[in-house]
Amino acid sequence: MKYIILNKPFEVLTQFTDEADRVTLKDYVKVADIYPVGRLDYDSEGLVLLTDDKSLQHRLSDPQFKVEKTYLVQVEGVPTQEALTRLRLGVRIKEAKTAPAKVRHLEEEPLVWERSKPVRFRKNIPTSWLEIKISQGMNRQVRRMTAAVDFPTLRLIRTSIGPLNLNDLQPGEYRELTPEEVTQLKAATKGSPHSSSGGTRGTGSGKGKRGGQSGFRKQIN
């Protein structure tokens, strides 16, 4: 079995082909016969897991196992306590109400890599960063959650899936999981459904064709 994590750059499709000839995973990952677990939007960045383990793919995509995903989210404006509470309790988006989420307002801006295209700011409106942890997989869920409380998402970075973390993986780089990480990932989807958090740092790395864009200014956990 093959298990790979990639730090997906901005404006890369989480698939290997595209009729419109946009940049896809094939421009970065040179491993055959693996597929992404779930999705990460074209305009989002961060951790993507790829594998040929169909059983694990299914379990990680099944919300009953509640495998937690962590995101750093830059939003327009400074969220009020009321807005943060609504996000934590769940908000109504088009098709359903979201499940309770773990939401933390970051007092200091996280030191992350520069995006390939700068975020467009409005000069008279400040921005702030949130850490959001969810175990659902609704379409564009985090962006729709922050929009529902009137603080639109400007930038979104997925930093972890269950026990897996980006750590110092650069945008466009990928690496194989260590045997220990594979064991922890499988354990996160066994037995009674539960949340999984924490992380380990593997050894070794690989780079795709366009790997190593701007530097990762600080390790993200």
* Catalytic residue IDs: 41
Q: For the purposes of burial, counting CB atoms within 10 Å of the CB of 169, is it exposed (0-12), middle (13-18) or buried (19 or more)?
A: buried
Phi-psi region of 11 (alpha: psi -120 to 50; beta: other; left: phi over 0): left
Query: What gap in Å lies between CA 190 and CA 174, rounded to an integer?
Result: 26
CA distances in angstroms from 90 to 99, 157, 176, listed in the order given: 5, 21, 35
Query: What gap in Å lies between CA 175 and CA 193, rounded to an integer?
Result: 28
Q: What angle do CA 139, 140, 142 make, to 5 degrees?
A: 125
DSSP strand E in the chain: where? Answer: 3-8, 35-36, 45-51, 69-76, 102-106, 127-134, 153-161, 164-165, 173-176, 206-207
